[in-house]
Structure 1
Amino acid sequence: MPVATADLYDELEEGIQSLSLQLRSFGRRSAFDGPIRTVRCFEDNALVKSVLATPGAGAVLVVDGAGSLATALMGDLIAASAVANGWAGVVINGAIRDRVAIDALDLGVKALGTNPRKSAKLGAGEVAVTLVIAGVVFRPGAHLYSDEDGILVER
């Protein structure tokens, strides 16, 4: 079971970043952690789908969708693929869809909200890049911790 983020912050205050962005929680895992992998995309989820179709080995995919709620960057089929491939969780600076189905999956998901509108499938964006979301740096390979209190990332 992952360590509580509040306790971890108290222990590692100087070596950890706290994400102030208020994300909603989805999926059956309310707490998850793992090494970070990243995707930057805008209203196009083709890269999200392709990355989550690869072995996750307990990693967490962080998706910077620029905060757009206009289209969903992940739905139930992509989330089910993440579960099948061993991902611990997905953090999306954007929207998801198929919330009820995702809530039934053994996956941790944090996102800004929901929108039933599907996204483009052109493959626009970048994979394995450093992201900065709300002042927090998400480097591929750094460790992310998430629970009901929020998200922490190694510096």
Structure 2
Amino acid sequence: MENIGFRIIPRSQYPDLELIAQFQNVVTPHLSDNMNRIFASCSQLRPYHSGKKLVGSALTVKTRPGDNLMIHKAIEMALPGEVIVVDGDGDLTNSLIGEIMTRLAEKQGVAGFVLNGAIRDSGAIASRDFPVYARGVTHRGPYKDGPGEINVPVSIGGMIVNPGDIIVGDEDGLVAIPVQYAGLLLDKARQTQQIEDGIIETLEQGGSINRDWIDQFLQQKGCSLDDEDARK
């Protein structure tokens, strides 16, 4: 009989490491812009490691706040290239992981952690490049009682993550990409990069960019324009 709320769901898909690797050179702003800026976690989730980019396939965990029993299980069952994505309800009362768990996960081939909750041993985590994103820090340790679920949809600071989604994290934040849209978003993000590279190159060479759209848009909004003396 199903024990809803305390169970492990079998994987429905496995990490495509070749596909995942293609996101190493794509930044989160370009991915976010091409998903209309609504598929991202809240700004409170931030990186606590020394800067390495996070790219991998989501192994999701839903746990009771302050309890990491199912996170330990996720480390044991994780495949190389997976990101352990934990919904701890955003609670900061108790930490969910610390230095030892990050080292165990790294040894297992885990690509990193995303935690809608707290960590501890933040100094040790900050000294290493193993990716860890979290909502906060506390010295108070976790419990190991359960319940929890593995391989279920989770909410990470407003971002819905399904098992197998591609997670990309950098200094600007996190995005989750459904695998079925990965190729499309890769192409769109690369096009955005080319456009921005062209703008930057033009500016660096002393050229100018057409900015007429600003006044045109303001006029459409009914804004009264009286800035003739602004540059004199």
SS at the partner of 2:35? helix
For the pair shown, which has the larger CA radius of gyration, 1 or 2?
2
Distance 1:93 1:55 in 2: 19
SS at the partner of 2:103? helix
Distance 1:69 1:14 in 2: 30
**What does 1:13-92 correspond to in 2, within 5 Å?**
13=35, 17-41=39-63, 42-92=65-115
Q: Is the Cα contact below 8 Å between 2:115 and 2:156 reproduced in 1?
A: no
Matched, 1:93 2:119: no
Match of 1:107 among 120, 130, 142: 130
SS at the partner of 1:38? strand
Q: Is the Cα contact below 8 Å between 1:16 and 1:153 reproduced in 2?
A: no
Distance 1:30 1:95 in 2: 20
Distance 1:46 1:29 in 2: 28
Q: Could you tell me which residue of structure 2 aligns to residue 137 of structure 1?
A: 160
Larger fraction in strand: 1
Q: CA deviation at 1:15?
A: 9.8
Distance 1:119 1:55 in 2: 21
Q: 1:45-98 CA distances to partner (integer Å, 9 max, x unpaired)? A: 111122123343111111011111100000111110011011111010110001
Distance 2:156 2:143 in 1: 22
Question: TM-score, normalization: structure 2?
Answer: 0.61
Structure 1 consecutive aligned stretches of length 4 or more whose deviation exceeds 4 Å: none
Where does structure 2 lack aligned partners over 5 or more consecutive residues? 1-23, 179-232
User: Structure 1 residues 129, 89: closer, same or farther in 2, change over 3 A?
Assistant: same
Question: TM-score, normalization: structure 1?
Answer: 0.89
Which amino acid is 1:105 matched to?
A: R
| Range 63-72 or range 116-125, more displaced | 116-125
Distance 1:23 1:100 in 2: 17
Q: Is the Cα contact below 8 Å between 1:25 and 1:110 reproduced in 2?
A: yes
Larger fraction in helix: 2
Q: CA RMSD in A?
A: 1.9
Q: Could you tell me which residue of structure 1 aligns to residue 185 of structure 2?
A: none
Q: How many residues align?
A: 154
SS at the partner of 1:57? coil
Q: Is the Cα contact below 8 Å between 2:57 and 2:81 reproduced in 1?
A: yes
Q: CA deviation at 1:115?
A: 0.7
Matched, 1:148 2:171: yes
SS at the partner of 1:35? strand
Which amino acid is 1:104 matched to?
A: S
| Range 21-30 or range 95-104, more displaced | 21-30
Distance 2:40 2:46 in 1: 16
| Range 88-97 or range 19-28, more displaced | 19-28
Identity %: 35
Which amino acid is 1:35 matched to?
A: S
Distance 1:128 1:80 in 2: 22
